[in-house]
Amino acid sequence: MDNKNIEIPKYIQNIPKVDKLYQQISNLPQFKDTARPIVIQTIQDTLERLRKGVIKGKFQEADLHESKVINEVQFMLNKAMQPNLQPVINATGIIVHTNLGRSLLASSALEHIIQIACHYSNLEYDLQTGKRGHRYQLVEDLICSLTGAESAAVVNNNAGAVLISLQTIASNKSVIVSRGELIEIGGSFRIPDIMALSGAKLIEVGTTNRTHLRDYQNAISPETALLLKVHPSNYSIEGFTASVDLKEMVHLGHELSLPVMYDMGSGNLVDLTSKDIHGEPVVQTILSSGVDIVTFSGDKLLGGPQAGIIAGRKAIIELIKKNPMARALRIDKLTLAALEGTLRLYQDPKTVFNKVPTLAFITRPLLEIKSAVETLYSAVKDLENDHIQVNIVKTNSKIGGGALPVQTLPTYCIGITSEKRSVDSIERYFRSLNPPVIGRIENDQYLLDFRTVLPDEMKVLQKFVGDFKAAS
């Protein structure tokens, strides 16, 4: 010991022995199949903590009783055996929540993944000729028929799609972008940085709030290789604003034989205006305006897996496919299976809103959300408690994921407040549960927004809220 003044309590000798604990733990039914090294390591870590605690005076003799130590080891083992990547209940109401995994997959997409994961597949094998095939081809026709594009390719994500497109079209040349569109998407996607990485030179035109066609016209030089439009996904500039209509940009580009590219971000394939959601461009409409190439994400509004979709003119897409970077950014077979499974659901515009969870959450009837909230409320409202208040709150959910930054959807939440606990500590409590519940704080109230809660999670939430009331 480095500190001679501290006297180590004698009862430190009572700390149980590793072998004895191992024997007891490995006899418990729930741990009988647990690998020995994991159990031993957990016991050793627990005992080490106990030893340090005793020396610091944190633990008394009673804390070293074998039964107590066994309980502690069990708790730590359960924790150690939990996968690091685990399901959570998204009660934020934010549908495309990047930190919580963006979109949930449709069940048919999931089945397709399972089939492809457990069997060999024709990933790069042409079943007609028996020769090498191309993985893109498996979804290319589907993307083309859904979007009206001449040709399509898919890569790892939309950041990759933008990067490879810029690199292919404009490396060592320049690209003109409006200052109002030099966006940053949370988590390090910045147009100027991606541009630098691609080897293209960024030419900014206009001002933050206003850009006119003449700004593009004046900036065009022999160096120019591309006019780029970027969907300012996650923010909106309001007030005295002007941006150039895509059709005008296309007209200008084509007059001068310059391709026009649109990074759409979310990539929406359905008309949401019929669901009273406005302002998110539809891929088909954008392509029909004559834009040469669009890029969008697979896991935002499209509701599929993480992927980057590039659609547009064949001549450009062919060059992109041949770019060596395509190999580095290539899409994995399980993702491809999920993407194909998702895209096939779009072939039936009537059922797609029910089958793709992201679309189902967006169009979830308010009455359905209300009734789920009321069910939980009536189950917990009578649990005796004088300092926890549970009530029904009518507010708004966000779509998230850089789609429709301004539009919100009316929703119902369970609101929880306490006279004794801070709203932050309520938030921490729900986050520490298994499965963790992620809610949101609004007006100093902890909210569970039911828009994004799945039917089988309702019962779990009901128990959690009940337990919280009873225990607080």
Residues that bind ligand PLP (CB under 6 A): 157-159, 162, 185, 189, 230-231, 233, 263, 265-266, 297, 308, 402
CB of 287 or CB of 390, closer to ligand PLP? 287
CB of 149 or CB of 331, closer to ligand PLP? 331
Least distance in angstroms from the C-beta of 472 to ligand PLP: 39
CB of 70 or CB of 228, closer to ligand PLP? 228
Least distance in angstroms from the C-beta of 410 to ligand PLP: 24
Least distance in angstroms from the C-beta of 297 to ligand PLP: 3
Distance of CA 303 to the CA centre of its chain: 10
Residue 54 dihedral angles phi and psi, to the nearest 5°: -65, -45
Please identify the residue of the shown chain whose CB is closest to the bound ligand PLP. Answer: 265
C-beta of residue 432 within 8 angstroms of C-beta of residue 129: no
CB of 211 or CB of 297, closer to ligand PLP? 297
CB of 308 or CB of 357, closer to ligand PLP? 308
Least distance in angstroms from the C-beta of 321 to ligand PLP: 19
C-beta of residue 437 within 8 angstroms of C-beta of residue 431: yes
Least distance in angstroms from the C-beta of 124 to ligand PLP: 24
Least distance in angstroms from the C-beta of 88 to ligand PLP: 20
CB of 16 or CB of 400, closer to ligand PLP? 400
Least distance in angstroms from the C-beta of 266 to ligand PLP: 6
Strand partners for 294:
262, 311
Residue 332: CB atoms within 10 A of its CB come to 14
Pairing of strands 388-398, 408-418: antiparallel
CB of 97 or CB of 421, closer to ligand PLP? 97
CB of 46 or CB of 157, closer to ligand PLP? 157
CB of 154 or CB of 380, closer to ligand PLP? 154
CB of 325 or CB of 433, closer to ligand PLP? 325
C-beta of residue 173 within 8 angstroms of C-beta of residue 200: yes
Instruction: Print the SS3 string covering the chain.
Output: CCCCCCCCCHHHHHCCCHHHHHHHHHCCHHHCCCCHHHHHHHHHHHHHHHHHHHHCCCCCHHHHCHHHHHHHHHHHHHHHHCCCCCCCEECCCCCEEHHHCECCCCHHHHHHHHHHHHCCCCCCEECCCCEECCCCHHHHHHHHHHHCCCEEEEECCHHHHHHHHHHHHHCCCEEEEEHHHCCEECCCEEHHHHHHHHCCEEEEECCCCECCHHHHHHHCCCCEEEEEEECCCCCCCCCCCECCCHHHHHHHHHHCCCCEEEEEECCECCCCHHHCCCCCCEHHHHHHCCCCEEEEECCCCCCCCCCEEEEECHHHHHHHHHCCHHHHCECCHHHHHHHHHHHHHCCCCCCHHHHCHHHHHHCCCHHHHHHHHHHHHHHHCCCCCCCEEEEEEEEEEECECCCCCCCEEEEEEEEEEECCCCHHHHHHHHHCCCCCEECEEECCEEEEEHHHCCHHHHHHHHHHHHHHHHHC
Least distance in angstroms from the C-beta of 19 to ligand PLP: 51
Least distance in angstroms from the C-beta of 190 to ligand PLP: 10
Least distance in angstroms from the C-beta of 263 to ligand PLP: 5
Least distance in angstroms from the C-beta of 111 to ligand PLP: 24
CB of 190 or CB of 278, closer to ligand PLP? 190
